[in-house]
């Protein structure tokens, strides 16, 4: 159970990274890929991957949250109640709620995007503290 709890923590982190890739893959697209000619093969592969990540973004977010709950339950039962873990989980819930609001809204504002992004940045900082201190 101890190892499973740890493994679930790592899987949660990996799924968050896939969700965060949304930002970096779009950024790379704007900065480099759009400048390539339309018939360039790499541009095609890149944009196919980008479409997949953007389309399924919310499922990676929800998937991360599900695995996170499993990690949390096992760690609380078999390890200890991690305060930094709880803070990270709380921020993840905020990010996900903001994501859902944005997903459902008809016109997405820059403010909403920044609110969601800010929650994700805070979540990342909390996660790093959680990893370093484990407390
Ligand atoms: C977004 C939320 C979270 C993520 C991404 C996450 C991820 C991780 C990761 C990657 C580790 C390190 C595993 C290793 O050492 O190999 C870890 C450790 C740990 N986590 Fe979390 N965690 C989260 C939330 C929580 C919550 C809510 C709790 C419990 C209240 C918790 C309790 C713990 C504990 C006790 C450890 C130390 C395990 C050990 O070294 O034996 N985590 N977590
Ligand atoms: C906690 C997990 C999540 C993380 C780490 C995360 C991360 C991000 C990031 C970094 C962006 C910015 C992308 C950009 O700059 O264009 C973004 C955009 C967005 N996120 Fe999330 N997100 C998460 C969960 C969710 C969920 C659960 C939903 C919806 C149900 C959601 C909906 C959106 C929407 C609608 C956008 C706007 C742009 C787009 O569609 O790609 N996110 N997310």
Q: What is the pLDDT along the chain (135 residues), one digit of tens a residue?
A: 889 999 999 999 999 999 999 999 999 999 999 999 999 999 999 999 999 999 999 999 999 999 999 999 999 999 999 999 999 999 999 999 999 999 999 999 999 999 999 999 999 999 999 999 988
Closest ligand, as measured to the CA of 125: 1
> Could you tell me the residue range of the domain that residue 21 belongs to?
1-77
The response to whether residue 75 sits with its C-beta less than 6 Å from ligand 1 reads yes
**The pTM of the whole model exceeds 0.75:** yes
Contacts 24+ apart (CB under 8 A), 34-37: none
| 119 Cα: distance to centroid of ligand 1 (angstroms) | 19
Residue closest to 98 by CA, chosen among 52, 61, 68, 127: 61
CA distance 135 to 123: 16
The response to whether residue 12 sits with its C-beta less than 6 Å from ligand 1 reads yes
Q: Is there a single domain that holds both residue 4 and residue 64? A: yes
The response to whether residue 88 sits with its C-beta less than 6 Å from ligand 1 reads yes
- The answer to whether 13 and 127 have CB atoms below 8 angstroms apart is yes
pLDDT at 2: 85
Q: Is there a single domain that holds both residue 71 and residue 88? A: no
Closest ligand, as measured to the CA of 84: 1
| Count of CB atoms situated within 10 Å of the CB of 74 | 19
pLDDT at 94: 98
Residue 107 tokens read as 């016109």
Q: Which of 65, 85, 121 to mutate to test the pocket of ligand 1 (most atoms within 8 A of CB)?
A: 85
Residue 48 tokens read as 């196919």
Q: Is 21 exposed, middle or buried (0-12, 13-18, 19+ CB in 10 A)?
A: middle
Provide the number of structural domains found in the chain: 2
Q: Is there a single domain that holds both residue 66 and residue 122? A: no
Coil, strand or helix at 122: helix
Q: Is there a single domain that holds both residue 62 and residue 5? A: yes
Largest CA distance in the chain: 55
């Amino acid at each position: 159970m101890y190892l499973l709890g740890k493994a679930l923590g790592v899987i949660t982190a990996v799924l968050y990274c896939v969700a965060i890739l949304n930002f970096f893959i779009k950024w790379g697209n704007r900065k480099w890929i759009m400048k390539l000619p339309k018939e360039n093969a790499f541009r095609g592969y890149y944009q196919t991957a980008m479409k997949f990540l953007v389309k399924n973004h919310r499922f990676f977010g929800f998937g991360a949250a599900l695995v996170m709950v499993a990690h949390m339950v096992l760690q609380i039962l078999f390890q200890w109640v991690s305060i930094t873990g709880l803070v990270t989980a709380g921020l993840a819930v905020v990010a996900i709620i903001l994501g859902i609001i944005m997903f459902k809204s008809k016109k997405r504002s820059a403010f909403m995007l920044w609110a969601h992004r800010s929650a994700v940045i805070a979540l990342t900082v909390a996660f790093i503290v959680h990893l370093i201190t484990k407390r």
